[in-house]
Amino acid sequence: MDAPPLTRSVAARCDYFDTGRCRSCALLDQPYDAQLADKQREVEALLPAPAAGWSEPVASPPVEFRNKAKMVVGGTAAEPTLGILDAAFAGVDLRECRLHTRGLHDALPVLADFVRQADLAPYDVVQRRGELKHLLVTESPAGELMVRFVCRSQEPAARLRKHLPSLLGRLPVAVATVNLQPAHKAVLEGEREIVLTPAATLAMPLGAVTLHLRPRSFFQTNTAMATALYGEAVAWTTDLAPRSVWDLYSGVGGFALHLAAPGRAVTGVEISHEAVRSAEHSAAAAGLADVRFLPGDATTYAVNAAPEVVPDLVVVNPPRRGIGDQLAGWLEGSGVPHVLYSSCNARTLAADLAAMPSYAPLRGRLLDMFPHTRHYEVLVLLGRR
């Protein structure tokens, strides 16, 4: 797909978008600067102004920023498509999508060849037959790949093992797996993972911190914005010098590991056991003895904590629904001096802030994690009034 270079002041051109084959980038016909300005206006309309004012929004690269490709596999084993399904459940090939990093872009044709070589029949939604449902590919900042073949059954695993050396000879694949998703429903992945390579984790170096991702661990899909987000968290909290930090909804440990410091006790709490294993691996590899990660519900952990162990700083990075009334109520009455809130939904953030009137926003910044969509990340530092 030929397209001119994209600048921030000119709307992008995309043949997939223009022909209606893919409309995922709903704002693609708007100049990127205009998208960013609209998002900032929305944030300022929804949220109270921080004491220091809103920092300038962090702009993302408008193309080649997405570190993960989530490709539905359609077509046939001889002519596979990697992309999405149309209204009739036929495959629409999107391997030339400009959002993917250059490494992902270059890897997708090779992976399509590998599907042919291994004779992996794409899953036919209408006929309910075939095996390969999705290809999930993640690229690290170092250019290494994690490739996951989401299949209906374990049957293709032997063929994938047989042909894997040819794939490793063509691509820098650090981790390859088969994920089993037998259900006939729109679910991206299943609970069982068969690792085909010696390594089971993908190293994601982000400046001074390296995260180690296991196959079913969530990581922000925009590496540049994730790096900026964690960097801002460190910059905003350095002068606070907290002796203890809780990272609730800690995921793979991004905030916890970046905020680790000598003499500082850091605890991460995360519902996903797979993410906890990733975070523990990263902490151990970095030799961080004062950082621990616990599997469990963030709200339950907080409300059941003894008053004498309440930390100096709580970090929350919840899903779109926000932290909710129970955790907001606990924070309100906890005496915690500062809260760092990272939100992907300014509306639920506004509701949570209204439930915590003892806190005032000190600093705030929008980070454009998702260009060409209406979504973004917003980070606020809260302090007791």
Q: Which residues are catalytic?
A: 344
Separation CA 347–CA 124 (nearest Å): 39
Residue 243: how many CB atoms within 10 A of its CB?
Answer: 11
Distance CA 128, CA 79 (A): 18
Cα distance between residue 385 and residue 53, in whole Å = 16
Structure tokens at 258: 């970046």
Cα angle for residues 25, 27, 28 (degrees, 5° grid): 65
On the 0-12 / 13-18 / 19+ scale of CB atoms within 10 A, 299 is: buried
User: What are the strands, taking DSSP E only, across 224-275?
Assistant: 244-248, 265-270
> For residue 236, what are its two tokens?
């905003």
- Token pair belonging to 372: 């060409």
**Whole-number Å distance between alpha carbons of 60 and 132:** 33
Q: How far is CA 343 from the centre of its chain?
A: 13
Over the Cα atoms of the chain, what is R_g?
Answer: 22
